[in-house]
C-alpha cells in the first residue's frame, strides 16, 4: 500500500468542518474532493499547538514532554534520528520514504538522517513539482511513503505583522466583502488572564494589538485566501496519485485563532488552535465521519503502520485511529520567553467536556461544554452547578500527568479532593 501524507501548517479544523455561517467563506474544492472518499475526524487534536513540538510528536509518536521539545527553540535530540521515528521505521519495513517541504522537527528541512530522501527543502514554491517528478520517475516496485508538507497558510503570521509573504501577497479586498467576525470574537467573561498577558508581552510576534474590527475581518479574508492557495497546490498533488492504490492522509500541526477570542496564531488552548483537520482515505474503506475526540496528530504513526500492514513501534502512548479510541485527549502548551517564567497549560477533552488549566493567573481553570458551547464562551468552572464535573476532570488530568510522566506540570495542577493524601507532599517534595 502506497501512502501520501499531506500537511499544511496552521490549518484550522473549522476550515473544513464549516458548520458555522461565519466559516462559509472558505473555499477548498480539492480537499473537499478528498474528504468525499475519506474518513473525516472532526474532533482531532494536536498534542501541542506550535510547529516544532507538534511535528516532533508526529514523527516520534510521543508527547512533546517525553521528547523534551516544548517550544520552537528547544535544545533536544532530533526525533527524526530515532530508529522508531516515522521515516526510519517505514524505511526498515521496505518503503521508499521521501519528504518535501517544511520539516521543523526541529530543523527547517528534512535530511537523509531523518529517514527520508529529501526531495525539496522548506518552501512551497516547487514543492508539488518535486513530488510529481519523483512519483513519475520511480523505478522501484517497492511501496512508498511520501510526505508533502506545505508552509501555507502559516504565512498569515507574516500578514499580521505587515511583512512580505514569501510566496506572494494575497489581494486586498474591501471590508464590506470580507468575512464577518466569528460569534466568539470578543473575549468571554472569566477568560484566562494569562493569555491576555502573553499577547501583551509579544506584540511584535502577534502583530494584532491595535487591530480594529475591520482589520480582523481583513485578516480572516487573507487567511481564507492562503487556504485556497494551498488547496490548489494540494489538488495538483492529488491528481498525481492513484487513489485506488494509495492511502492519502491530510492533517495540520495546529490551527489558527482566526479572530476567535480576538486571537491569532497558535499556542493558546482554544479550540481554533488545538483542533486540526484530519482526513484518512484508505482504498477499499468506506468514507464516513468520526465525531468523538481523538489524539489525531499523535496517532498518525500507529495509524500509518496499520494502514501499511506493519507493526508499530513498541510503547507508543496512542493507538491507531482505525481502532476503538478512548474519549480522552490531552493537549500541552508553553509560551516560551527568555526574559520571564513561561506560561504553561494543559487541556483535557473528555466526551463533550473540555477542561483547561494554565499555570498562573486569574481564571486559569476553564471548563466548557463543547456541545452546548463550541465557541467556549461560558466558563463553567465558576458555576457551582458544574462542581462535580470540574472535580472529575481535575482528577482525570492529575492521573494522566502522573501516568505519563508529565512531572513538570504536576505542580501547576489544581489537585482534586479525591487525590491521595500524600499526593501534594510527593509533588512538592522539591517545592520549586
pLDDT tens, position by position, 111-161: 999 999 999 999 999 999 999 999 999 988 899 999 999 999 999 999 999
CB 4 within 8 A of CB 283: no
The count of C-alpha atoms lying within 13 angstroms of the C-alpha of 113, restricted to the half-sphere facing its C-beta, is 8
The region that residue 284 occupies, defined by phi over 0 for left and psi between -120 and 50 for alpha, beta otherwise, is: left
For the chain, the C-alpha Rg in angstroms (whole number) is 21
- Residue 17's pLDDT band (boundaries 50, 70, 90)? confident
Rounded Cα distance, 102 and 148, in Å: 8
Among residues 369, 404, 211, the alpha carbon closest in space to that of 295 is found at: 404
Per-residue pLDDT band for 363 (boundaries 50, 70, 90) equals very high
- pLDDT for the residue 140: 82
pLDDT confidence of 429, banded at 50, 70, 90? confident
> Treating both helix axes as pointing N-terminal to C-terminal, what angle do 51-60 and 300-308 enclose, rounded to 10 degrees?
30
**Within 10 Å of residue 174's Cβ, how many Cβ atoms?**
9
Per-residue pLDDT averaged across 101-113, rounded? 96
pLDDT tens by residue, 150-186 = 999 999 999 999 999 999 999 989 999 999 999 999 9
Task: Decide: helix, strand or coil at residue 231.
Answer: helix
Do 375 and 183 form a contact (C-beta atoms < 8 A)? yes
Task: Inform me whether the pLDDT recorded for 75 exceeds 90.
Answer: no
Q: Per-residue pLDDT averaged across 411-425, rounded? A: 88
Cell matching residue 175? 471590508
Q: Edge-to-edge, what's the strand order for the sheet holding 246-251?
A: 117-120, 96-101, 144-150, 2-8, 246-251, 278-281, 39-41, 288-290
The answer, yes or no, to whether the previous bond of 106 is cis (omega within 30 of 0) is yes
pLDDT of residue 289: 96
Average pLDDT along the chain: 95
Q: What's the pLDDT tens digit per position in 190-248?
A: 999 999 999 999 999 999 999 999 999 999 999 999 999 999 999 999 999 999 999 99
The neighbour count for residue 329, using CB atoms within 10 Å, is 26
Q: What is the mean pLDDT of residues 407-427?
A: 88
Pick 330-427's CATH classification: 3.90.1010.10, 3.30.200.20, 1.10.630.10, 3.30.1120.10.
Answer: 3.30.1120.10
The packing angle between helices 213-238 and 127-137, to 10°, is 10
SS (H, E, C) 188-227: CCCCCHHHHHHHHHCHHHHCCCCCCHHHHHHHHHHHHHHH
Residue with cell 489558527: 256
| pLDDT computed for residue 325 by the predictor | 73
Q: Where in the chain is the domain with CATH 3.30.1120.10?
A: 330-427
Threshold 0.95, pTM exceeds: yes
Q: What is the structure's pLDDT at 431?
A: 81
Strand 117-120 and strand 365-369: pairing?
Answer: unpaired
C-alpha cell at 260: 476567535
Beta strands in 268-386 (DSSP E): 275-276, 278-281, 288-290, 328-335, 343-350, 353-358, 365-369
Best CATH choice for the domain 2-326 from the list 3.40.720.10, 3.40.140.10, 1.10.3720.10, 3.40.50.300 = 3.40.720.10
More confident residue, 429 or 381: 381
Give the residue range(s) of CATH 3.40.720.10 domains in the chain. Answer: 2-326
Confidence of residue 23 (pLDDT cuts 50, 70, 90): confident
- Contact at 8 Å (CB) between 332 and 64? yes
pLDDT tens profile 237-277: 999 999 999 999 999 999 999 999 999 999 999 999 999 99
Question: What would the pLDDT profile of 303-339 be if each residue is shown by its tens digit?
Answer: 999 999 999 999 999 999 998 777 799 999 999 987 7
Phi/psi at 28 (nearest 5 deg)?
-135, 65
Phi-psi region of 415 (alpha: psi -120 to 50; beta: other; left: phi over 0): beta
- List, as own/partner pairs, every contact residues 392-398 make where C-beta atoms lie below 8 angstroms and the sequence separation is at least 24, other chains included: 392/416, 393/348, 393/350, 393/353, 393/355, 393/367, 394/355, 395/419, 396/328, 396/348, 396/350, 396/355, 397/330, 397/346, 397/348, 397/355, 397/357, 398/423
pLDDT of residue 173: 92
DSSP classification of residue 312: P
Amino acid at each position: 500500500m502506497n501512502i501520501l501524507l499531506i500537511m499544511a501548517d496552521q490549518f484550522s479544523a473549522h476550515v473544513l468542518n464549516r458548520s458555522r455561517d461565519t466559516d462559509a467563506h472558505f473555499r477548498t474544492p480539492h480537499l473537499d474532493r478528498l474528504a468525499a472518499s475519506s474518513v473525516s475526524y472532526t474532533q482531532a487534536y494536536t498534542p501541542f499547538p506550535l510547529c516544532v513540538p507538534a511535528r516532533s510528536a508526529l514523527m516520534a509518536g510521543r508527547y512533546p514532554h517525553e521528547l523534551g521539545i516544548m517550544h520552537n527553540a528547544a535544545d533536544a535530540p532530533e526525533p527524526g534520528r530515532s530508529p522508531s521515528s516515522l521515516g526510519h521505521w517505514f524505511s526498515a519495513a521496505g518503503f521508499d520514504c521521501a519528504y518535501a517541504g517544511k520539516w521543523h522537527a526541529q530543523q527547517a528541512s528534512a535530511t537523509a538522517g531523518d529517514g527520508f530522501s529529501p526531495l525539496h527543502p522548506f518552501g512551497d514554491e516547487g514543492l508539488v513539482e518535486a513530488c510529481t517528478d519523483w512519483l513519475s520517475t520511480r523505478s522501484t516496485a517497492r511501496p512508498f511513503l511520501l510526505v508533502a508538507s506545505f508552509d501555507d497558510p502559516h504565512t498569515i503570521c507574516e500578514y499580521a505583522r505587515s511583512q512580505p509573504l514569501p510566496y506572494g501577497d494575497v489581494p486586498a479586498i474591501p471590508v464590506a466583502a470580507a468575512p464577518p467576525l466569528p460569534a466568539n470574537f470578543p473575549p468571554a467573561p472569566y477568560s484566562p488572564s494569562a493569555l491576555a498577558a502573553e499577547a501583551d508581552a509579544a506584540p511584535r510576534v502577534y502583530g494584532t494589538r491595535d487591530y480594529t474590527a475591520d482589520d480582523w475581518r481583513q485578516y480572516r479574508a487573507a487567511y481564507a485566501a492562503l487556504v485556497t492557495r494551498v488547496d490548489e497546490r494540494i489538488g495538483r498533488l492529488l491528481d498525481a496519485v492513484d487513489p485506488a492504490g494509495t492511502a492519502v492522509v491530510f492533517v495540520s500541526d495546529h490551527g489558527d485563532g482566526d479572530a476567535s477570542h480576538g486571537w491569532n496564531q497558535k499556542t493558546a488552548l482554544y479550540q481554533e488552535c488545538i483542533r486540526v483537520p484530519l482526513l484518512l482515505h484508505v482504498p477499499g474503506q468506506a468514507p464516513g465521519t468520526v465525531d468523538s475526540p481523538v489524539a489525531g496528530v499523535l496517532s498518525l504513526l500507529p495509524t500509518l503502520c496499520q494502514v501499511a500492514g506493519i507493526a508499530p513501534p513498541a510503547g507508543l502512548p496512542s493507538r491507531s485511529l482505525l481502532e476503538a479510541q478512548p474519549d480522552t485527549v490531552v493537549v500541552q502548551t508553553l509560551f516560551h520567553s527568555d526574559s520571564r517564567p513561561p506560561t504553561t497549560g494543559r487541556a483535557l477533552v473528555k466526551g463533550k467536556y473540555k477542561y483547561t488549566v494554565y499555570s498562573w493567573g486569574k481564571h486559569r481553570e476553564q471548563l466548557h461544554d463543547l456541545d452546548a458551547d463550541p465557541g467556549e464562551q461560558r466558563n463553567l468552572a465558576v458555576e457551582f452547578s458544574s462542581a462535580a464535573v470540574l472535580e472529575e476532570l481535575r482528577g482525570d488530568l492529575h492521573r494522566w500527568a502522573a501516568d505519563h510522566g508529565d512531572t513538570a506540570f504536576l505542580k501547576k495542577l489544581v489537585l482534586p479532593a479525591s487525590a491521595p493524601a500524600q499526593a501534594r507532599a510527593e509533588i512538592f517534595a522539591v517545592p520549586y
